[in-house]
A = this chain, B = another copy of it.
Amino acid sequence: MTPERPELTATPRNKGVDEAVAAARRVIAALLHAGDRSAAEMSTMADRLNAVADHLEEHAPAVEERMIDMWRGEGVTRHDPVTGPENALAPPLHLHGRQDGSIEGVVVLGMPYQGPPGYVHGGVSALLLDHTLGVANHWAGPSGMTAELTLRYHRPTPLFESLTVTGRQVSVDGRKIRTVGTISAGGEVVVSAEGLFIDKQLPRPR
């Protein structure tokens, strides 16, 4: 039996990794316009971050192997830049399926995602919606690659407030899939999206 709100985002696998990624997200936000610092102080921060990167890289497989491994048997990706618990670029957005076949997630975006003063970057909204429409397709049935995506910006999308992101597959006609989605803040739609997807998958690296 399907649970009432099935999670469509990857669940934690290696607690340490998810913790480290969450800490990296804190670093990203803290580096943004962090006040008057001496160059020496910031160089020390750079050294400490480079030391972490050095350590991780030293023990990591080659990029080619990591690419193969990250696509092996993953139902829901852990590495994507929107929902991925392993990707510090991801806010992350947590998506779940709804009983009507659509999907939904809630997210609060901070300073790194800013476009106009105090508001979310229009391109970040596009990133969230493209991804959500793709996951909505997976959830509903046939899925594929984005062929065309249209975003309409109805009003500015606030930072630091709870945003609801939705996606719903509306039709499948041969290999053409049409999908819509919205971002809402305070109960009002701030951005809406329409996407045309083509039912086609790229081969996984191996």
Seen from chain A, the residues whose Cβ lies within 8 Å of a Cβ on chain B are: 14-17, 19-24, 26-35, 37-43, 45-53, 55-57, 59-61, 63, 66-67, 69-71, 78-82, 86-89, 111-119, 121-124, 126-131, 134, 145-153, 156, 160, 201-205
Q: Which residues of B contact A52 (CB under 8 A)?
A: 27, 30, 45, 48-49
Q: Which residues of B contact A148 (CB under 8 A)?
A: 150-153
Q: Which of B51, B57, B81 contacts A124 (CB 8 A)?
A: B81
By the criterion CB–CB under 8 Å, are B123 and A127 in contact? yes
By the criterion CB–CB under 8 Å, are A146 and B122 in contact? yes
A86 to B114, CA, bound (A): 12
Tell me how many chains of this kind the complex includes. Answer: 2
CB-CB under 8 A for A34 and B60, given A123-B131, A204-B117: yes
A70 to B115, CA, bound (A): 12
Closest to A127 in B: B123
A129 to B121, CA, bound (A): 12
